[in-house]
Amino acid sequence: MRYLLLLLPLLLFEGDASTFEYRTPNFVVFCRDSYFAVEVGEAAEHYRAKHAKEWLGKAIPNWYSPCPIRVNVINEAGAGATTFSFEQGEVFGWDMQIQGTPQGLMDSVIPHEVLHTVFASHFRRPLPRWADEGAATYEEDESEKQHHRQLAHQVAGTEQQIPIRRLLVMKEYPDNMGGIAVLYAQGFYLAEFLIDRKGRQEFVKFLETAHRTDWDRAFEKHYGFKNQEIAYTAAWREHSQPEQQVASRYEIKMFTGPNCRRCEEDRQKVLPLLKAKGLIVEILDYDRNLDLARKENVIGLPTYIIYENGKRIAKLRESHSISSLLKRRH
Ligand SMILES: [Zn+2]
């Protein structure tokens, strides 16, 4: 066993001469920017210790060989991949590749990927994908999590949605990008629901119980749900509730007229979307509702008047401002 901690990054002369190498007790970072290599290495150690304490309730010993982290700083959304193999309960052949903006890497990609390594050295076996990705995504920045929640919501009740009994046992990723995104979204949503209820360490114990017995028993023992379908339905109900509450709080009147092309476009494109969110839109012909139109000071078509709990809160000309308005007030 040897530990190397170099305080200054070394220039690597083999391979790509412009790549710096920075070693910490458990990681060795390869990056073109020497300062960023140090930041990544320190962040990886920080999250390794933090995750171990928060998820496992204890520190994990240093690894025999460090996990390489290959960093590619690019001006694109963050992404990462960590690979390793298991042999007789040991982890071998670590390799982590990460890319993104410096901020995306620090806020989301590194905490995510490092949790995979902490889980690998704790469980010493491949985890079901939904749980591994769901937990790792739980450590990402809120802005990233929001994307996953939205997608989980979008696919609900559609063909794209992965049935719970399949989701829980998937050991591999789906073979298309859309499927992978859905797996992440649904996995994260279910994991977040469970972790928010009883914390990170209970989630780890739940995974151990599921491995020893089965999912239904694990859900019952750790979360009090009789089986996986009931747990998933409960997760789903919590997810959709805020939106239903928003919907019932609001009422929208839309003023239209016979020769209004934009009114017609909105009726075909926007109203179905609002309806899908549970928002009720009352359509009023301007000429036939002159008194009300004058009272509401309608001067162009279409015009939307929004009421919250019966109180008029806005007059809008652009239909797309409706959803942003409701989002802001939510
Ligand atoms: Zn991941």
84-93, 105-114, 155-164, 224-233 — which one is most confidently predicted on average? 105-114
Separation of first and last alpha carbons in the chain: 55
Q: According to the model, what pLDDT value does residue 269 have?
A: 78
CA of 136 to the centre of ligand 1 (A): 6
The answer to whether residues 167 and 186 touch, using CB atoms and an 8 Å cutoff, is yes
Say which residues have a Cβ less than 8 Å from residue 153's Cβ, sequence separation at least 6: 239, 240, 243
Q: According to the model, what pLDDT value does residue 319 have?
A: 74
CA of 130 to the centre of ligand 1 (A): 10
Say which residues have a Cβ less than 8 Å from residue 7's Cβ, sequence separation at least 6: none
What is the per-residue pLDDT across 179-227, written as a single tens digit (0 to 9) for each? 888 999 999 999 999 999 999 999 999 999 999 999 999 999 999 999 9
Q: According to the model, what pLDDT value does residue 156 have?
A: 83
Q: Give residue for tokens 């990054």.
A: 9
Q: According to the model, what pLDDT value does residue 90 have?
A: 78
What is the per-residue pLDDT across 46-79, written as a single tens digit (0 to 9) for each? 999 999 999 999 999 999 889 999 999 998 888 9
Structure tokens given for 88:
């007789």
Report domain extents, the chain. 2-126, 135-239, 243-328
CA of 212 to the centre of ligand 1 (A): 24
What is the per-residue pLDDT across 280-296, written as a single tens digit (0 to 9) for each? 788 899 998 899 898 88
Strand spans (E) along the chain: 10-11, 20-23, 27-31, 67-73, 79-87, 90-100, 250-256, 281-285, 303-308, 311-316
Q: Greater confidence, 273 or 117? A: 117
Give Cα separations from 55 to 41, 106, 168, 205 (angstroms).
21, 20, 20, 10
Q: What is the mean pLDDT of the chain?
A: 85
What is the per-residue pLDDT across 7-32, written as a single tens digit (0 to 9) for each? 333 333 334 657 899 999 999 999 99
CA of 129 to the centre of ligand 1 (A): 9
CA of 326 to the centre of ligand 1 (A): 33
Architecture of domain 243-328 in CATH? Answer: 3-Layer(aba) Sandwich (3.40)
Structure tokens given for 321:
């401002």
CA of 184 to the centre of ligand 1 (A): 8
Q: According to the model, what pLDDT value does residue 326 have?
A: 65
Percent of the chain scoring above 70 in pLDDT: 88
